[in-house]
C-alpha cells in the first residue's frame, strides 16, 4: 500500500467523524496516541508497539488530511536525503 492509498483509506474510514471533530481536536487525539506509543515503547510488548504505531500513524494521517497536507508529497521531501544538507546519511551538526 502506498502512502497515498493509506491516506485515502483512513479518510474513507474516518473522514466524516474527523471532519465533524475538526482539525484541532483531531490533533489533540494524535498527541494522546503519541503518549500511548511512548508507554508501549517502555513496555517492550511487540504487539502493543505495533498497535500503537499503527494508531499514531492513522491519527497523523487523518490530521494531515484535515490540514490539507498530502502525506506522499510530504514524504518526498526526504527523497534525496536530509532536507537540510541533502546527504544520506545526514551530515548536519
For residue 53, give its domain range. Answer: 3-76
CA–CA gap between residue 66 and residue 18 (Å, rounded): 8
Question: CATH no. for residue 65?
Answer: 1.10.287.1080
- Cell (9 digits) for 60: 497523523
* pLDDT classification of 22: cutoffs 50, 70, 90: very high
Residue 49 in domain: yes
Residue 33 in domain: yes
Residue 66 in domain: yes
Residue 93 in domain: no
| Whole-number pLDDT of residue 57 | 98
Apex 17 CA angle, 71 and 29, nearest 5: 65
C-alpha 5: how far from chain center:
14
| Whole-number pLDDT of residue 6 | 98
* pLDDT classification of 28: cutoffs 50, 70, 90: very high
| Whole-number pLDDT of residue 47 | 98
**Number of domains within the chain:** 1
Counting residues of the chain whose pLDDT is more than 90, the rounded percentage is 99
* pLDDT classification of 87: cutoffs 50, 70, 90: very high
- The pLDDT tens digits for 31-69 are 999 999 999 999 989 999 999 999 999 999 999 999 999
Amino acid at each position: 500500500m502506498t502512502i497515498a492509498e493509506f491516506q485515502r483509506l483512513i479518510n474513507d474510514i474516518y473522514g466524516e467523524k474527523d471532519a465533524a471533530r475538526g482539525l484541532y481536536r483531531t490533533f489533540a487525539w494524535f498527541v494522546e496516541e503519541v503518549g500511548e506509543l511512548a508507554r508501549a515503547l517502555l513496555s517492550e510488548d511487540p504487539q502493543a508497539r505495533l498497535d500503537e504505531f499503527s494508531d499514531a500513524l492513522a491519527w497523523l494521517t487523518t490530521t494531515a488530511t484535515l490540514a490539507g497536507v498530502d502525506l506522499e508529497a510530504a514524504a518526498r521531501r526526504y527523497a534525496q536525503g536530509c532536507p537540510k544538507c541533502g546527504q544520506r546519511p545526514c551530515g548536519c551538526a
